Amino acid sequence: MFDVKKIKKDFPIFENYKRETGRDLVFLDSAASSQTPKVVVDAMDDYYFKYRSNIHRSAYNIGEQATNSYEDARKTAAEFINADTNEIIFTNGATDSSNMLIYALEKKIEWKEGDEVVTTILEHHSNLLPLQEMAKRNGVKFRHFEMAPDFNIDYGNLDGLINEKTRIVSMTLASNVTGAITDVKRVSEAAHKRGAIVIVDATKAAGHMLVDVKSLDCDFLFFSGHKICGPTGIGILYGKYDILNKMPTSSFGGGTVEDVTMEEAKYSDAPFRFEAGTPNIAGVIGLGAAIKYLEAVGVENARKHTQDLVAYAIKKLSTISGVKIICERDHLKNIGIVSFVVDGVHPHDVGEILNRHHVAVRGGHHCAIPLMKALGVSAISRASFYIYNEESDIDALAEGIEEAIKIFS
């Protein structure tokens, strides 16, 4: 049995919030950043208070302990997505991963006239903009999948979009707006038949569903730690080792080289060639602890729980006149998001009134302005669910929405 009340006790913010306000915190914004369990903060504190030192450089005891903890987290992250340890690069987060990757691919690929890159209308700006700018710099045609009526990707033009001119296909595994889980494997198969590189933004999916890079058959994949119960400022960039080892790095400095002369440098093999300078050691250790925590809870258990919450939320909000639900309505294909608009009430106003009920949701364009335009709205309200949410949270959400409607009617 999935015991939400027991899980909630692992997250001190809920008890602390109630102590300070006298009210329960209804946190429905995990798509922006999830909450952090105490075990993650404890792991980071242990590093700072018990073996604070740099990594890969020291022969003394606490230096070796720091290095071992850091590399153990790399192993944990690799197993989490069914990758090899040397295919995991630690970054500052998904945005950093995306920019680093696109910069390296831009230098690696020999661009030719007529080359194309493909993405989707569902993309977050962190995946869209680096690719868009790279295409401009190199005179590359920029193409994308449109949205289907179910708020997923329209695969009807798959063979037309991905062809012999396609060099890169970059797409999200799950939309941070509509919650729709995309068919990456299908797209990967079509892309690889034509020799294209496949990049997957798993930022909303990782930790919310099982992610297997070998099953997806993607060449690269990235996600952030702060959306899977980990700390901010840390992320994962996965790449197939054979490709990584042939790619140039975009950041240079200590820890990336085997030998240096005044004229040139010999760079280390992946992943170390991509991790210049002193990294976010505590963040990496915290991310490793977060992954272990989620594995103990069970990612499949979390997935089933959020599916049930999506189904309940859609049913509940559908009864409120004036609310238009904008999300993947099949809860089995939804990552845990129910977005909506309220007639006559701006999403920012909805968020403010919900805040009076101690309900936290996100209102805005969600770093997906092209998708907002495709939906015909400037902004949208988004409720996103995770392991510490329960049906009573959705009841509180509905009550707040009904009050907003009364105030603005």
Whether 367 is a known active-site residue: answer yes
Is the separation of the CB atoms in 184 and 209 below 8 Å?
no
Within 109-240, where are the H helices? 125-138, 158-161, 184-193, 213-216
Q: What is the DSSP letter of 367?
A: T
Could you tell me whether strands 166-172 and 116-120 are parallel, antiparallel, or unpaired per DSSP bridges?
parallel
DSSP-assigned states of every residue in 244-304: HTTSPPS--STTSEEEE-SS-EEEPPTTGGG--SS--HHHHHHHHHHHHHHHHH-HHHHHH
What is the rounded CA–CA span in Å between residue 223 and residue 193? Answer: 26
Is the separation of the CB atoms in 216 and 188 below 8 Å?
yes
Q: 271: cis peptide before it, omega within 30°?
A: yes
Is the separation of the CB atoms in 254 and 267 below 8 Å?
no
Q: Residue 114 carries which side chain, given as an amino acid letter?
A: G
CA end-to-end span of the chain, whole Å? 42
**Residue 88: its H or E element:** strand 88-91
| Catalytic position from the list 218, 229, 327, 367 | 367
What is the rounded CA–CA span in Å between residue 287 and residue 236? Answer: 10
- Mind telling me the catalytic residues? 367
